[in-house]
Amino acid sequence: MTKPSLWIPRRLSDATMARALRDYHVITNPDDTPGTAAEIIAMSAQVDAMLPCHSELFSPAVVAQLDGRLKIIANHSVGIDHCNLPALAERGIFVTNTPDVLSDATAEIAMLLMLGAARHAVAGDRLVRTGAWTSWSPSFMVGKQVTGARLGIIGMGRVGQAFAKKARGFDMEIHYYNRSPLTDAQAMGAVYHSDIDSLLAVSDFLSLHCPATPDTKGLLNKDRLSKMPKGAVIVNTARGALIVEEDLIAVLQSGHIAAAGLDCFQIEPGGNPVLAAFETVFTLPHIGSATTQTRDAMGFRALDNLDSFFAGQKPHDLC
């Protein structure tokens, strides 16, 4: 039986690549660079399936030019905002993602960012590395305590719940906004807010865990940031589009928001150099799911979806 043809534009984990090469006729990109629109369109005539990352953009214009041979896009990501689902559905192209498997890894990064932002990790690291640490006093680098503080979570899905579970280890008081309240067993005592503004008002720390959609783009703007307690800390491990970066810069400059921990930005790669200039902003290059265990799990989940599709079954993670 002829193996289905599969395009993998980015370098995935060794275990993922070994399994893919075993079961599919694989076309790879040795340069490990994002697939361009032209490459995506050209490859659609050569393969039955694609296993892209968030870096490959399937806009309506691109989708309109895809060859009829392409049948399925098995994303190596949970987020699917890089895929125009209506356009792909109209072309009869299946789309899957990789939920569940990266929740803990992303929640770990959110915890790192929250602690780093609250306790002056950027400034402290710079002082030690540059040899500028020459004195100490009780007033030196006093930060914001996490233990016992109120944590607001926007988006209480898999990652949000994983983060809440870890935050309870710091005795944090958990509040959350979600499209609908969780069951009591899922909430584990977390306080539900039916609107974002009431959540913001009680959030000493705020962590974003919702997808980027037309409704959530610019979710945190000047008006909403002003509703937070003075000295609050913002954490974002979801998508850069959720925050109006110019507005965040303004409230950091005014001191209303004390600090931020950011793993994602409006422009990626690259980030925001103005935000990066703040020593009160702890930044990472969108590595929330970057552990060996999680990368293997994401790759295998994507391949599981492909295996199901080519076996004539409905993929488990159909979007």
Catalytic residues: 239, 268, 286
Question: What is the spatial order of strands in the sheet that 173-177 belongs to?
Answer: 191-193, 173-177, 150-154, 205-208, 232-236, 257-262, 281-283
With CA atoms as reference, report the closest residue to 258 among 117, 155, 121. 117
Question: What is the spatial order of strands in the sheet that 5-8 belongs to?
Answer: 25-28, 5-8, 49-50, 72-74, 94-96
Helices 103-118 + 158-167 axis angle, to 10: 50
Secondary structure percentages of the chain, helix, strand, coil, to 5: 35, 15, 45
> What is the DSSP-derived secondary structure letter of residue 68?
T
The gap from C-alpha 275 to its chain's centroid, in whole angstroms, comes to: 18
> What is the DSSP-derived secondary structure letter of residue 114?
H
Range list of β-strands (E), the chain = 5-8, 25-28, 49-50, 72-74, 94-96, 150-154, 173-177, 191-193, 205-208, 232-236, 257-262, 281-283
Tokens of 191: 């306080």
**Cα-flanking dihedrals φ and ψ of residue 144, to 5°?**
-105, 125
With CA atoms as reference, report the closest residue to 298 among 56, 57, 55, 105. 105
